[in-house]
Amino acid sequence: MNIILKVENLSISFGSNEVLKDLNFELAENEILGIIGPNGAGKTVLLNILSGILAPNSGKIYYQGEDITKKSIVDRTLMGFGRTFQVPRSFENMTAYENSLVGAVFGNDVTEKDAQKMSSEILDIIGLGKYKGSFASKLGLLDRKRLEIGVALASRPKLLLLDEAAGGLTESELTDVLEIVKNVRASGVSVIWIEHVLQTMIEGTDRVLLLAEGHDVINGLPEEVMKSKEVERIYLGID
C-alpha cells in the first residue's frame, strides 16, 4: 500500500483557541478517507491547511514522500491537489463549460486545445454535459455541487479534498454524488471527504476518521467507526 499523504502532529491555534492538536493520519493511493465530527471540530480548517490556504503552527504534511508543509496553494495544485468548498464557488456569470475551462487552464500546464477537450470530458463525467452552455447561476444545488467537483477535477488532481459535497441534497441526489465520487476514485484519484451526512460516509468511503476538539479520536472501517461508542458520545450526543 503506497501512502500518498501523511500528516504528522499537525496543530493550529487562533489566539487561545486550539483548533487542531497533534493530528496524525495517513491516506493511501486510490483510497477514500471520510472525516466526520461535530461543528467546530476543525474539519474545514484541516482542509484549508492541506490545500495551502492556512499554515499550521506546528507539524508536517508529506505528499508522495515530500514535505509540502510550506508549499503554496499554486504549488500544491500543480503537484496534484484539487479542492471543493462547502458553499460552491463557481463563477456565476460564466457557463458550466467556462467554469471547468478555468480549472483546466489554471490548474494544469496544458495547451488551450487540450484544456478545452478536458473540460468537455469532465462535464460528461459529472453529468453536466447537456448543461455545458448553462450559466452557473441558473443551476440547481445538485448541479452546482457537481460543477464544484468538476472544476476541481479539471486540474487533473491525484488528491481531491471534498468539503460537504452532499450537504443540503435530497436522498436521491445523494446517490448521484456517491456515484460521482466512486467514479473519481476509479480514475485513480485519492479522496479526503468531510461530510455530516452519515450515509455517504458509510457507503462511499474506505475508512472514516472521527475528529473532535482537534483530536483524531478514532480511525477505522466505516461500519466499525459508526457503531463505536465514540461516535455515539461525541458526534450523536448519546451518553
DSSP code string of the chain? --EEEEEEEEEEEETTEEEEEEEEEEEETT-EEEEE--TTSSHHHHHHHHHTSS--SEEEEEETTEE-TT--HHHHHHHTEEE--SS----TTSBHHHHHHHHHHHHS---HHHHHHHHHHHHHHTT-GGGTTSBGGGS-HHHHHHHHHHHHHTT--SEEEEESTTTT--HHHHHHHHHHHHHHHHTT-EEEEE-S-HHHHHHH-SEEEEEETTEEEEEE-HHHHHTSHHIIIIIS---
pLDDT of residue 40: 84
Please say if the pLDDT value at position 160 is more than 70.
yes
Please say if the pLDDT value at position 108 is more than 80.
no
Mean pLDDT of the 79-104 span: 89
CATH number of the domain bearing residue 213: 3.40.50.300
pLDDT per position as a tens digit, 14-56: 998 999 999 999 999 999 999 999 888 899 999 999 999 999 9
pLDDT per position as a tens digit, 174-204: 888 898 899 889 989 999 999 988 889 999 9
Instruction: Give pTM, 2 decimals.
Output: 0.90
Mean pLDDT of the 164-175 span: 85
pLDDT of residue 238: 65
pLDDT of residue 13: 94
The total domain count for the chain is: 1
Q: Residue 210: which domain range? A: 3-235
The confidence band for 155, taking pLDDT boundaries of 50, 70 and 90, is confident
Q: What is the mean pLDDT of the chain?
A: 90
